[in-house]
């Protein structure tokens, strides 16, 4: 009931309907429904192997579900390749970091940006007016906004694979932001981070979601229940490819099925808090 | 001493052409992890296409430009017809397809142009040797070296400074990430094949000017393999240095070893060198070292 009320007045940005994804005979997703409203942080939780990353990959286009539809801004995007979905404004980070290891931090972030510049190869080669303006705007955007937001000024020229894990995660977030996405898929952004880094990252996610400049809708796959319950607008619980529930953090926490299937012992909430 | 210098310089000049062909190997390997064993035939096709344009009365430079255009078209067609369906299949399968392509192209060339040796008539470059300091070199070598270097610079600049080139680099580095940033993998593969066709084709045209055009130009394309391996399969500067090193080795062994081992020592030495070199540096000069952290 409360879900339906909350949905009113808000546009649905992304909608999964009856999505099935099989690997051989194993159903990784067995008819999943999900509505993500504009402006929210919608978390997906579930035990290991529940199909969370598979869901992300279906949304982003790396996997093509055998059945069911995925709609973005009301349009069905099932047939679109990942690169076209990226151009529509769906950006993501990866559970296992996928950065361009040999390039600098700045180059990694720039890549996310440059690929989407509009000027052609001809004006590009001669640095004509339009290209120049675009370049300057892009540089300003990257250097002043993204680097500033993520507080990575001091490492901007470092080679990525030399950086500690926590910073690499931050760079990956920066690169995803360079696309100026409307929908950001965050696949375990907090995994492997220390307490301080977790707090920073959670703050960045909130900034990206709430600040007027960004207002990015986020889908968050995460195991850190403390953070998930703190920052999510809604939480979707997945187990063995099926939805257990989808609701506000309070509802989810008090749902007996969730407690049974996933949270198990009560003190799991207490991790880190 | 003079013989040594002359051999050395000729080696460097020929090596420039090898570098151009080597670039084709490297680009395809870098973008898709495929060792393109049809590279020799791409060289061959380029040589014949340039020759045909030249005999139609086009100036040599325009014939080369024409070859570049044909290279783009053939590269994209090859990728679309034969390789597109193999994206995501095991690399070995794709490599075997390139072997098939090499036979197909060779047959096609023999069918269209027959097997006789053809030469560029009238000769593109004068026979009068040019003096470089105190050594004299034939203009064919000098000009093809210059043209090869110019094209190398253009290709490398494309790769380094344009958005398309950047997309190719990104795909080479991490395909999944590149896809999620809006890079189309199909586009990148098509572009890699187009550039490979272009660089190998022009390399073939220049080498054809030196030795005449027949099936053996295709073997020269394969001779470049040691150059590529030497430089490191995925390194563009490595391909250039490797090409020049192989050119020099080939010429030095031709001048100095041929009297002891008459016959094809020139052809064998680069491969022998490659084998020994790889014992010590298995990733080539600048190849990516794959070190797994456990």
Give the residue-averaged pLDDT of A251-273: 67
pLDDT at B169: 81
In a domain, B291, yes or no: no
Question: Contact B182/A81, CB-based, under 8 Å?
Answer: no
Task: Kindly identify which residue of chain B lies nearest to residue A57, measuring between CA atoms.
Answer: B180
Q: Which of B36, B15, B162, B165 is nearest to B94 (CA)?
A: B36
Q: Do B170 and A124 touch (CB under 8 A)?
A: no
Angle, vertex CA A168, rays to CA A167 and CA A170, nearest 5:
65
Could you please report the per-residue DSSP string of B202-266? HHHHHHHHHH-BSTHHHHHHHHHHHHHHHH-TT-HHHHHHHHHHHHHHHHHHHHHTTTTSTTTHH
Structure tokens, B82:
């034969």
| Terminal C-alpha separation, chain B | 53
pLDDT at A255 exceeding the cut of 80? yes
DSSP state of A152: -
Which pLDDT band, with edges at 50, 70 and 90, does A14 fall under? very high
Residue A267 has pLDDT above 70, yes or no: no
DSSP, res B264: T
Q: Hey, are the CB atoms on B162 and A117 less than 8 Å from each other? A: no
Tokens 């055009």, located at residue: B213
Chain length of chain A: 273
Inter-chain CB proximity A82 and B174 less than 8 Å: no
Over residues A167-171, mean pLDDT: 94
Q: Judged by CB atoms within 8 Å, which residues 144-183 of B form the interface with A?
A: 162-164, 166-167, 169-170, 173-174, 176-183
Nearest to A19 by CA among A3, A41, A35, A8: A35
Contacts of B183 in chain A (CB under 8 A): 83, 115
What three-state secondary structure class fits A26? Answer: strand
Query: Minimum mean pLDDT among A237-246, A254-263, B31-40, B87-96: which range?
Result: A254-263
Structural domain contains residue B292: no
Handedness of CA A205, A209, A211, A213 (dihedral sign): positive
Chain B residues in contact with A81 (beta carbon < 8 A)? 179, 184
Residues of A with CB under 8 A from a CB of B: 60-62, 81-84, 86-87, 91-92, 94, 98-103, 111-112, 114-117, 121, 124-125, 175-176, 179
The answer to whether B133 contacts chain A (CB < 8 Å) is no
Length of chain B: 294
Instruction: Answer yes or no: are the C-beta atoms of A243 and A75 closer than 8 Å.
Output: no
Provide the 8-state DSSP code for A122.
Answer: H
Taking the Cβ of residue B22 and every Cβ of chain A, the question of whether any pair is shorter than 8 Å is answered with no
**Mean pLDDT across chain A:** 85
Give me the CATH topology for the region A1-88+181-273. Answer: Rossmann fold (3.40.50)
B50 Cα to chain A: minimum distance (Å)? 26
Say which residue, A264 or B229, is predicted with more confidence: B229
pLDDT per residue as tens digits for the range A199-234: 999 999 999 999 988 899 999 999 998 999 999 999
- Residue A247 reports pLDDT greater than 90: yes
| Alpha-carbon separation of residue A37 from A34, A68, A85 (angstroms) | 10, 19, 18
CB contact under 8 A, B174 and A117: no
Chain A residues whose beta carbon lies within 8 Å of the beta carbon of residue B87: none
Distance CA A97, CA A23 (A): 23
**Domain range annotation of chain A:** 1-88+181-273, 90-177
Domain count, chain B: 1
| Mean pLDDT lowest among A148-152, A268-272, B280-284 | A268-272
User: Is there a shared CATH topology between the A1-88+181-273 domain and the A90-177 domain?
Assistant: yes
Contacts of B177 in chain A (CB under 8 A): 94, 98-100, 175
Question: Which residues of chain B register pLDDT less than 70?
Answer: 288-294
Measured in angstroms, the CA of A83 and the nearest CA of chain B are apart by: 4
Q: Can you give the pLDDT at residue A7?
A: 45
CB within 8 Å: B181 and A112: yes
pLDDT at A127: 61
Nearest CA among A10, A68, A6 for reference residue A217? A10
Q: Examine the pLDDT at A272 and tell me if it is beyond 50.
A: no
Q: Do A112 and B174 touch (CB under 8 A)?
A: no
CATH number of the domain enclosing B176: 1.10.3470
Range of the domain at B135: 2-280
* Residues near A151 by beta carbon (within 8 Å), at least 6 away in sequence: A200
Q: Do B183 and A91 touch (CB under 8 A)?
A: no
Average pLDDT on A71-91 reads 92
Q: Determine the angle formed by the axes of helices B216-231 and B2-32, rounding to 10 degrees.
A: 80
Contacts of residue A60 in chain B, CB cutoff 8 Å?
180
Is B172:A103 a contact under the CB 8 Å cutoff?
no
CATH 3.30.830.10 holds for A90-177 = no
Which one has a higher pLDDT value, A249 or A11?
A249
Mutate to test the interface with B, among A91, A98, A122, A177 (most CBs of B within 10 A): A98
Measured between its terminal Cα atoms, the distance across chain A in Å is 31
Query: Looking at beta carbons, which residues of chain A come within 8 Å of B179?
Result: 61-62, 81-83, 86
Instruction: Round to whole Å and give the CA distance between A215 and A221.
Output: 19
Q: Can you give the pLDDT at residue B279?
A: 86
Q: CA–CA separation, B212 vs A15, rounded Å?
A: 64
Q: How far is B286 from chain A (nearest CA, A)?
A: 13
Which residues, in sequence order, are CB contacts of B180 under 8 Å at separation 6+? A60, A62, A82, A86, A91, A92, A94, A98, A176
Q: Could you say which of A61, A86, A125 has the minimum Cβ distance to residue B181?
A: A86
Spell out the residues 6+ positions from residue A174 whose beta carbon is closer than 8 angstroms to its own: A105, A108, A109, A112, A146, A147, A150, A152
Q: How far is CA B169 from CA A211, A222, B188, in A?
A: 33, 31, 9
Chain A CB within 8 Å of residue B263 CB: no
Q: How far apart are CA A154 and CA A132, in angstroms?
A: 27
Q: What is the dihedral of CA B32, B37, B42, B45, to 10 degrees?
A: -150
Q: Do A86 and B174 touch (CB under 8 A)?
A: no
For residue B164, what pLDDT is reported? 80
- In this structure, what token pair is assigned to residue A207? 């900034």
**pTM for the complete prediction?**
0.75
Contact call for residues B186 and B192 (beta carbons, < 8 A): no
pLDDT of residue B23: 86
- Name the residue of chain B whose CA is nearest to A123's CA: B162
More confident residue, A68 or B176: A68
CB B217 within 8 A of CB B208: yes
What would you report as the CA-atom Rg of chain A, rounded to the nearest whole angstrom? 19
Q: Residue A131: is its pLDDT beyond 80?
A: no
Nearest CA among A164, A53, A163 for reference residue B176:
A53
Q: Could you tell me which chain A residue has the CA closest to the CA of B289?
A: A102
CB under 8 Å to A23, separation ≥6 — which residues?
none
Which is more confident, A127 or A272? Answer: A127
How far apart are alpha carbons A241 and A244 in whole angstroms? 9
User: Residues A49, A51, A57, CA angle at the centre, nearest 5°?
Assistant: 125
Q: For residue A197, what are its two tokens?
A: 């880094």
| B200 in a structural domain | yes
A115 contacts B163? CB cut-off 8 A: yes
Phi-psi region of B212 (alpha: psi -120 to 50; beta: other; left: phi over 0): left
Q: How far is B140 from chain A (nearest CA, A)?
A: 31
């Amino acid at each position: 009931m409360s879900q339906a009320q909350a949905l009113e007045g808000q546009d649905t940005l992304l909608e999964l309907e009856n999505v099935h994804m099989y690997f051989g005979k194993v159903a990784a997703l067995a008819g999943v429904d999900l509505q993500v409203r504009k402006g929210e942080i919608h978390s997906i939780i579930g035990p290991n192997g529940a199909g969370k990353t598979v869901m992300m990959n279906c949304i982003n286009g790396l996997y093509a579900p055998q059945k069911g539809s995925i709609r973005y801004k009301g349009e069905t995007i099932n047939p679109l390749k990942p690169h076209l979905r990226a151009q529509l404004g769906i950006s993501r980070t990866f559970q296992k970091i996928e950065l361009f290891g040999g390039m600098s931090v700045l180059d990694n972030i720039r890549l996310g940006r440059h690929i989407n510049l509009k000027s052609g190869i001809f004006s590009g080669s001669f640095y004509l007016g339009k290209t120049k303006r675009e370049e300057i705007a892009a540089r300003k955007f990257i250097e002043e906004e993204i680097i500033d937001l993520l507080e990575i000024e001091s490492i901007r020229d470092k080679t990525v694979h030399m950086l500690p894990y926590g910073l690499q995660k931050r760079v990956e977030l920066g690169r995803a932001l360079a696309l100026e996405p409307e929908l950001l898929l965050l696949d375990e952004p907090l995994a492997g981070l220390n307490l301080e880094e977790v707090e920073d990252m959670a703050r960045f996610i909130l900034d990206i979601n709430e600040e007027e400049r960004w207002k990015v809708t986020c889908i968050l796959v995460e195991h850190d229940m403390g953070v998930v319950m703190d920052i999510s607008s809604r939480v979707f619980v997945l187990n063995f490819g099926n939805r257990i529930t989808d609701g506000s953090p309070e509802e989810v926490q008090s749902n007996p099925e969730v407690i049974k299937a996933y949270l198990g012992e009560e003190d799991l909430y207490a991790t880190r808090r | 001493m003079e013989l040594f210098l002359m051999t050395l310089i000729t080696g460097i000049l020929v090596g420039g052409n090898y570098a151009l062909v080597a670039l084709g190997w490297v680009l395809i390997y870098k973008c898709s992890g495929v060792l393109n064993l049809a590279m020799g035939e791409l060289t061959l096709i380029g040589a014949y296409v340039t020759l045909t344009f030249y005999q139609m009365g086009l100036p040599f430079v325009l014939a080369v430009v024409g070859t570049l255009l044909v290279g783009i078209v053939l590269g994209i067609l090859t990728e679309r017809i034969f390789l597109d369906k193999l994206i995501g299949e095991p690399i070995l399968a794709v490599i075997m397809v390139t072997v098939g392509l090499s036979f197909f192209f060779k047959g096609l060339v023999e069918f269209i142009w027959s097997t006789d040796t053809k030469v560029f008539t009238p000769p593109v470059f004068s026979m009068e040797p040019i003096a470089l300091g105190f050594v004299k070199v034939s203009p064919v070598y000098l000009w093809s070296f210059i043209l090869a270097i110019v094209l190398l610079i253009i290709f490398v600049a494309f790769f380094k400074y344009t958005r398309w080139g950047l997309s190719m680099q990104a795909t080479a580095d991490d395909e999944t990430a590149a896809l999620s940033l809006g890079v189309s993998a199909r586009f990148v593969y098509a572009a890699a094949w187009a550039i490979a066709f272009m660089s190998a084709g022009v390399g073939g045209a220049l080498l054809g000017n030196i030795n005449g055009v027949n099936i053996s130009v295709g073997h020269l394309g394969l001779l470049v393999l040691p150059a590529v391996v030497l430089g490191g399969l995925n390194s563009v500067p490595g391909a250039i240095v490797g090409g020049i090193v192989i050119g020099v080795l080939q010429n030095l062994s031709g001048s100095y070893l041929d009297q002891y081992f008459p016959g094809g020592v020139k052809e064998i030495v680069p491969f022998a060198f490659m084998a020994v070199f790889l014992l010590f540096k298995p990733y080539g000069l600048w190849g990516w070292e794959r070190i797994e952290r456990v």
